[in-house]
Chain A
Amino acid sequence: MKIEKKEVEHIARLARLKLNEEEKERFGRQLGQILKYIEKLNELNTEGVEPALHIVPLQNIMRKDEVKDSLPVKDALANAPATKGKYFKVPRIIE
């Protein structure tokens, strides 16, 4: 099983990754192997089994609408590769 180059390019674009030709070939092969491995699950009969969306049986975990302290601005910006004033700075977004 191998994922077509076109599909690899599509997935890479969605993930904002720039891949070279060799990578497209390699990742296509690896993605195919991963899917094939996961496909093993199809061997099980899951008729009448509810999808397990959560592993712990919790529900209605909620909080009150009460304001808590936010981070100081300098801490919020601490991990950013680029900042300007009190803003995160990113490459220009072209619509």
Chain B
Amino acid sequence: MYQTVIGLEVHAELSLDTKIFCGCSTKFGQEPNSQTCPICLGLPGALPVLNEEAVKYIIKIGLALGCRILPEARFDRKNYYYPDLPKNYQISQNYLPFAVDGYLELPPSQKKGTPIKVGIDNVHLEEDTGKNIHSESGGREGYSLVDFNRAGIPLVEIVTRPDMHSLEDTESFMVSLRNILLYLGVSNCKMEEGALRFEASVSIRPDEASSLNARVEIKNLNSFKSVLRSLQYEIERQRRLLSGGEIVSGETRLWDEKEGKTLTMRVKESSPDYRYFPEPDLPPVVIKPQWIKTIRAAMPELPAERLRRFVKKYHLPPYDAIILTSSKSLADFYEEVVEGFPDGKHVSNWIMGEVLEKLKERKIGIEESSLTPASLSELLNLIKCGTISGKMAREVFAEMFATGKGAGEIVKERGLAQISDTRKIKETIDLILKKNPAAISDFQTGKKKVIAYLTGQVMKETKGAANPQLVNELLQEALQQQ
């Protein structure tokens, strides 16, 4: 039985209007090389100036992760040659990052009772690199194209301690961290645009007591799924090696998404070869306690606090609260529905049931669906006043989800409204009683069961649109009067 030890390095692009050291726009998907200037192109003589907002953002992240904010932060040059790096060094932080020694507590899962704390080694600021596009043709004709629009985009790197021991831990960490970044509003975390990226390192050891085997770093991980798949592959590969009496060599491996395996990378400079040295162009940043205080006071509610509040305010079971707060947009959606229909548990049942089922079917998040909180609360109100039955509601909901139309609108269009009009129901009852004189005498001789039969007949006559409870009451009344 081997123990797995996993650590992550997470890069998130900060959602700021301009780059970290210059005023170029960070807008995604623009014409290649249209958002560059002498600073982010690394032209001689250009002087970088730090984006103040990036510092605020990173302090926010540090505080959210329970880190110590260092009184003075500095920038360093990380030297390496690669075509996507115009200056031949990346401005990063090696010696004095903004925040150190934090942790992220994973939300309790159903499987594991005790919460797991994943240590955060440090949170630092750096600049993103450009983007390479590789031509199809190989050999001597092959070339690569470079777009520097991404070069200089503010990037936060979050480095964890090797505190994760399973794929479940890793997934839970990634989901929680993304959630925190989204709650803070510091990154859009769009993985398809490369705004959130991961590097994983993994090693295994025979048991907890033994020393760690060499660790393998995995690069090129662009989704939660590829992180988990690559770790799975790598854990099995290392187990096979160790069981066969071989050793695992410490190296960086590249994840091949198509093949579903990790491959050895060309030997890259190892850490000491980056020849870090203090960045002379950027003066140190001194973080005054007052600054931290102001930022702390303006911190939004974070997922863990929101979870506790949901349990308390809406009287939800913890399980419901965990699911609802697992995504900021879902939790926002929930609270908006509750505003229009103030029965927390009832709303939760609908969201955890019908809504999540439909989202899962379509493989989308709530923010991508056309369902609005207002229309869901409208639907719940229609059920509550008896305008539609629970069964009808399901049909209406399906159409709301498919078309984005309001609940009331659909009910009107499809003539679905339940008949709660006493006069109309009484008319139908009279009709049915006239047709069934035998039933009336049965009732008078004490066969009360006949009411169920008659209710069924009324429902049939109204094609199921009558409010069954009302029909039952009115029938009793009518029979008594006979």
Contacts and interface: CB of A to CB of B under 8 A. Distances in A.
B50 A87 contact: no
Given A70-B36, A86-B34, A92 B134 contact: yes
Interface string B120-142: 00000000000011110010001
Nearest to A57: B283
Contacts of B31: 73, 86
Contacts of A71: 36-38, 41
Given A53-B280, A54-B280, A62-B52, A77 B18 contact: no
Contacts of B41: 71, 76
B332 to A, nearest CB: 25
Given A70-B34, A95-B254, A65 B17 contact: yes
Contacts of B132: 93
B23 interface: yes
Nearest to A88: B146
Task: Name the interface size band of chain B.
Answer: 35 or more
B49 interface: yes
Given A62-B50, A73-B33, A76-B33, A67 B23 contact: yes
Interface in B139-169: 142-148
Interface in B57-116: 74, 79-83
A87 B286 contact: no
Nearest to B138: A92
A85 interface: yes
Nearest to B284: A59
Interface in A56-73: 56, 58-71, 73
A92 B275 CA distance: 26
Interface residues of A, number: 37
Contacts of B366: none
B399 interface: no
Given A53-B278, A86-B34, 20 more contacts: A14-B273, A53-B74, A53-B284, A59-B284, A59-B285, A63-B23, A65-B51, A67-B18, A67-B25, A71-B38, A76-B34, A76-B148, A77-B33, A86-B147, A87-B32, A88-B83, A89-B144, A90-B145, A90-B146, A92-B144
19 contacts: A14-B79, A58-B283, A60-B285, A65-B17, A66-B17, A67-B18, A69-B23, A70-B24, A73-B34, A76-B148, A77-B33, A85-B145, A89-B145, A89-B146, A90-B83, A90-B143, A90-B145, A92-B138, A93-B132
